[in-house]
Amino acid sequence: MMKRKARQSKNKARNAFSDKSQTYLHIHAHALFSSLGRIVKNTFTSVMTMLVMAIAISLASGFYLLIDNMQQLTGDIESTNKISLFLKPNVSDKSGRTLAEKIRQNKAVDKVVLITKKQALKEFKEYSGFGEALNVLEVNPLPTVIQVLPKNTLDDLQAIESLMMEFKHFNQVDFAQLDMQWVRRLQTMMQIMQRGVLILTLLLGFAVLLITGNTIRLELQNRRDEVLVAKLVGATYSFIQRPFLYTGFWLGFLSGIIAWLLVSIIMLLLQSPIEELSLLNGRAFELSYFGFFDIISLLSITSFLGVLGAWIVLYYQLQEIKPK
Amino acid sequence: MLKFDHVSKRYPEGSDVLLNVSFHLKRGEMAFLTGHSGAGKSTLLKLIAMMEFCSRGCILLGGQNLNKVTEREIPYIRRKLGLIFQDNKLLYDRTVFDNVALPLIVSGYGYKEIGRRVRASLDKVGLLGKEKKYPLTLSGGEQQRVGIARAVINKPEIILADEPTGNLDPELSAEVMHLFEQFQNVGVTVLIASHDANLLKRMGHRILTLDHGQLKVG
């Protein structure tokens, strides 16, 4: 009899516990979906807010994608620390070939390519689009060029430069040019742009934070009575702020999704001109879109910003709703 | 249960609203708080509900000094109170059920328990069957009773009512007062602010009279 009673009370306690924990989950689920419901209900305002946020987010993420694509582009030419030797106009092809052979003997040199005047003209005609104009000229204005690719072991700029100085002293050479220099320049420019995009991203992230904060502030004002009554019947701070935090989450999450769509549309619009450009350059260039992890991190960041914006506003504004 | 010890309340911009108020309510006692408007009735109730804090003196509620309560503890103390307001403070975009259930929801009760208690509470105030209605579709007296159902659902140790019959006709007022007596009968302490002198006399409970913030003896 006693045992049965004990078991019954145990069961009762367990039931009460599961009822409570279910309630806890239920309260969270309720806050999650009722805040989504509120966003849907106030369609016009929420869509406006989320579009503004989405534009800010898509600007930042769009620039990141742009940088990413440009890096891929420059990544392709990074390995070319090529030295171009432009020979004097009066140097014959034969003499050029002898010089190329001589350079090939150099231990530091990996590969030598000779581009004769004729080849140069042909290539230029093909790619520049000035073919017709060049036909008018009686003399070939292009010099013979020897392209030298140093061995991989020579990857620091100074060594390559001294090698270039060595070649410069040959009589036949008019001037020498290091292709790596403009690659370096491009890379430095990319670094500047990257930093610029980083600063821009921080600013836009801050804007997203402010927009969510302001939206939550308005929402809080609209639901002032509810907050007041909840306080008076003994609601804790965390109970009161929960639905607002979820609203912040939804704002961030949904505008993240809209931003993703916006960027994808922009990329689609840019794809065909970029393809044309890459055809002109004679290299296939694959435009990169957001990958799976990019999207996950984009949505996590925007959701986090939404919650953070809501939290900051709640921290200050809930104190102001009296009583405590 | 409730003890005021030389309590004064002064708002920053004015004179004393309450001055040197002392009284003691025993557990299960029912008392009326009366006085002209502006005498400090609402302020006194607000001090107990921690909507305001006293400037001098101390208030003991169930042995706890309300001046020494931290902000974190306030919600848990409020759960022991049943607050009833003249303007009901109902949420008009929620059903009667949701309004009455609110104190249990914020306390994290299970849903089965909530459903059971809400029905019991509504039954007590004679509104069983109106759970799904919205407050605005109810009469003034019914709305007031929804407010009472919400106040008592948490089985409070003390009920504080600010002019609960202010908007009701004499018959409904008597009905509501009778309801409060029923709660007193099961051991709940009840403090009601009211200026309805006739009603108070007929009820025959202890009367605390405030005059310009001071408690009159007698």
For residues A159 and A194, state if they share a domain.
no
Query: Can you give the pLDDT at residue A175?
Result: 84
Does residue B106 form part of some domain?
Answer: yes
Nearest to A22 among B49, B107, B110 (CB): B110
- Shared domain for B54 and B70, answered yes or no, is yes
* Best residue in A14, A42, A229, A238 for a mutation probing chain B (most B CBs within 10 Å): A229
- Chain A CB within 8 Å of residue B87 CB: no
- Report how many domains make up chain A: 2
B83 contacts A236? CB cut-off 8 A: no
Q: Does residue A322 belong to the interface with chain B, where contact is any CB pair within 8 Å? A: yes
Measure the CA–CA gap between B215 and B21, rounded to whole angstroms: 6
Does B134 lie in the same domain as B32? Answer: no
Please give the angle made by the CA atoms of A320, A324 and B2, to the nearest 5 degrees.
Answer: 155
Residues A258 and A191 in one domain: yes
**Model confidence pLDDT, tens digit, residues A39-69:** 888 888 899 999 999 999 999 998 888 888 8
Q: In this structure, are residues B146 and B69 in contact, taking their beta carbons and an 8 Å threshold?
A: no
What span, in angstroms and rounded, lies between the C-alpha atoms of B142 and A274? Answer: 71
Q: Does B74 touch chain A (CB under 8 A)?
A: yes
pLDDT value of residue A282: 59
Are A191 and A300 contained in the same domain? Answer: yes
A33 touches chain B (CB under 8 A): no
Cβ-Cβ contacts under 8 Å, A24 against chain B:
108
3-state secondary structure of B133: coil
> Does A22 map to a domain?
no
Do A283 and A304 sit in the same domain of this protein?
yes
Domain boundary, last residue among A178, A210, A233: A178
Which among B151, B164, B142 is positioned nearest to B100, based on CA atoms? B151
Residue B141 lies in a domain: yes
For position B217, what pLDDT does the model report?
66
Position A172 in a domain: yes
Residues A314 and A192 in one domain: yes
Q: Which amino acid is at A12?
A: K
B184 shares a domain with B76: yes
From B114, B135, B155, the end of a domain falls on B155
Query: A92 and A71 in one domain?
Result: no
Q: Does the residue A274 lie in any domain?
A: yes
With the C-alpha atoms ordered A7, A12, A13, A19, is the resulting torsion angle positive or negative?
Answer: positive
Question: Pick from A16, A226, A234: which is nearest to B75 by CB?
Answer: A234
Query: Of all residues in chain A, what percent are helix, strand and coil, respectively (each to 5)?
Result: 75, 5, 20
ipTM of the complex: 0.89
Is A232 in contact with B83 (Cβ distance < 8 A)? yes
User: Which among A23, A230, A322 has the least Cβ separation from residue B102?
Assistant: A230
- Considering the domain architecture, whether residues B52 and B69 belong to the same structural domain is answered as yes
Nearest CA of chain A to the CA of B213: how many Å? 22
Domain membership of residue A155 as a residue range: 82-178
Residue A6 lies in a domain: no
Of B108, B123, B155, the residue at which a domain comes to its end is B155
Residue B106: list chain A partners with CB under 8 A. Answer: 230, 233-236, 239
How far apart (Å, rounded) are the C-alpha atoms in residues A60 and A302? 11
Contacts of B77 in chain A (CB under 8 A): 234
- Overall pTM surpassing 0.90 (yes/no): no
Q: Do B66 and B169 fall within a single domain?
A: yes
A66 and A105 both lie in a single domain: no
Q: CA A49 to CA A101: how far, in whole Å? A: 69
Does residue A128 lie in a domain region?
yes
Same domain, B129 and B169: no
Considering A178, A213, A242, which residue would you say is the last residue of a domain? A178
> If chain B, 218 residues long, is cut into consecutive pieces of 10 residues, what is the mean pLDDT of each piece?
90 84 91 88 91 90 89 91 90 92 89 91 90 91 92 92 84 87 92 86 87 80
Q: Is residue B146 located within the same domain as residue B160?
A: no
- Asked if B59 and B167 sit in the same domain, the reply is yes
Query: Does residue A37 form part of some domain?
Result: yes
User: How many domains are there within chain B?
Assistant: 2
Q: Identify whether residues A246 and A311 lie together within a single domain.
A: yes
**Any domain includes B5:** yes
**Do B76 and B162 lie in a common domain?**
yes
Residue B29: domain span: 1-80+156-218
Which residue, A77, A81, A285, A67, is CA-closest to A190?
A67
Task: Provide the pLDDT for residue A7.
Answer: 61
Question: Is residue B85 included in any domain, yes or no?
Answer: no
Does residue A87 sit in the same domain as residue A70? no
Sign of CA dihedral B153, B156, B162, B165: positive
- Residue where a domain stops, chosen among A135, A152, A178: A178
Q: Is the same domain home to B11 and B73? A: yes
A2: in domain: no
Amino acid identity of residue B180, one-letter, is F
Measured between beta carbons, which residues in chain A are less than 8 angstroms from residue B105?
Answer: 27
Here the CATH number for the domain that contains residue B184 is 3.40.50.300
The pLDDT, as a whole number, for residue B61 is 92
Looking at the domain assignment, is residue A18 inside a domain? no
Identify the pLDDT of residue A77: 56
| B139 and B198, same domain (yes or no) | no
Question: Do A61 and A196 lie in a common domain?
Answer: yes
Instruction: Based on the fold, state whether residues B143 and B211 are members of the same structural domain.
Output: no
Contact A233 B111 (CB under 8 A): no
**Segments of chain A scoring below 50 in pLDDT:** 1, 78
Q: Cα–Cα distance between B81 and A184 in angstroms, integer? A: 74
- Cis ω for the linkage preceding B75 (within 30 of 0): no
Are residues A135 and A49 part of one domain? no
Domain boundary among B126, B155, B184: B155
Asked if B51 reaches chain A (Cβ–Cβ under 8 Å), the answer is: yes
Residues of A in contact with B115 (CB under 8 A): none
- In this complex, the residue of B46, B51, B76 whose CB is nearest that of residue A234 is B76
One domain, residues A144 and A174? yes
Q: Is B91 in contact with A236 (Cβ distance < 8 A)? A: no
CATH number for the domain spanning A98: value is 3.30.70.3040
In a domain, B86, yes or no: no
- For residue B208, tell me if it sits in a domain: yes
* Residues of chain B with C-beta less than 8 angstroms from the C-beta of A19: 110-113
